[in-house]
Amino acid sequence: MYSSVRKALRKHEFSWRYIFNLSTTVRHRVFDSEALTEPESRIVRSLKSDGIAVTSAEELLPNQDPFEELVSETQRVLHEKADEIEDLRSQANDESSIGSKSFNYELLGSEPVFDPKSAMARIALNSALLRVADHYFRMCVKLRYYNVWETFASTGASRESQLWHVDREDNRILKVFLYLDDVDEGTGPFTYAIGTQMGGRNRSVRPDSFLESGVSRTTDEQMKAVLPESEWLKCTGKRGTLILADTAGYHKGGEARTKDRLMFTCMYTSPASESKRLLKYPSAVDVSDLGPRQARALHLSQR
Ligand SMILES: O=C(O)CCC(=O)C(=O)O
- Residues, the chain: 303
All domains of the chain, ordered by start, with CATH?
Answer: 2-302 (2.60.120.620)
Residue nearest to atom 5 of ligand 1 (CA): 253
Residue nearest to atom 2 of ligand 1 (CA): 253
The pLDDT, as a whole number, for residue 287 is 84
Tell me which residues have their CB closer than 6 angstroms to ligand 1.
Answer: 161, 167, 175, 190, 247, 251, 253-254
> CA quadruple 116, 119, 121, 127: dihedral positive or negative?
positive
Asked if residues 127 and 293 have their Cβ atoms less than 8 Å apart, the reply is yes
Report how far ligand 1's centroid is from the alpha carbon of 234 (Å): 12
Ligand 1 binding pocket mutation candidate from 102, 147, 252 (most atoms within 8 A of CB): 252
As a whole number of angstroms, the distance between CA 183 and CA 254 comes to: 10
**pLDDT, averaged across the chain:** 93
Q: What is the pTM of this model?
A: 0.95
Confidence band for 3, pLDDT divided at 50, 70 and 90: confident
> What is the average per-residue pLDDT within 122-137?
96
What is the phi/psi pair of residue 62, to 5°?
A: -70, 160
Q: At what angle do helices 67-80 and 82-89 cross, to 10 degrees?
A: 80
Taking Cα atoms as reference points, which of 170, 180, 153 lies closest to residue 246?
170
Amino acid occupying residue 45: R
Report how far ligand 1's centroid is from the alpha carbon of 44 (Å): 20
Report how far ligand 1's centroid is from the alpha carbon of 217 (Å): 13
Residue nearest to atom 4 of ligand 1 (CA): 253
Report how far ligand 1's centroid is from the alpha carbon of 247 (Å): 8
Least confident of 45-54, 101-110, 264-273, 277-286: 277-286
Q: Is the pLDDT of residue 15 over 70?
A: yes
Report how far ligand 1's centroid is from the alpha carbon of 39 (Å): 24
Q: For residue 276, how many other CB atoms are within 10 A of its CB?
A: 10
Radius of gyration from C-alpha coordinates of the chain: 19
Amino acid occupying residue 275: S
As a whole number of angstroms, the distance between CA 268 and CA 143 comes to: 5
Residue nearest to atom 3 of ligand 1 (CA): 253
Higher-confidence residue: 20 or 4?
A: 20
Asked if residues 250 and 192 have their Cβ atoms less than 8 Å apart, the reply is yes
What is the DSSP pairing of strand 232-235 with strand 190-193?
antiparallel
Q: Which atom of ligand 1 is nearest to the CA of 189?
A: 3
Report how far ligand 1's centroid is from the alpha carbon of 31 (Å): 33
Asked if residues 255 and 84 have their Cβ atoms less than 8 Å apart, the reply is no
Confidence band for 302, pLDDT divided at 50, 70 and 90: very low
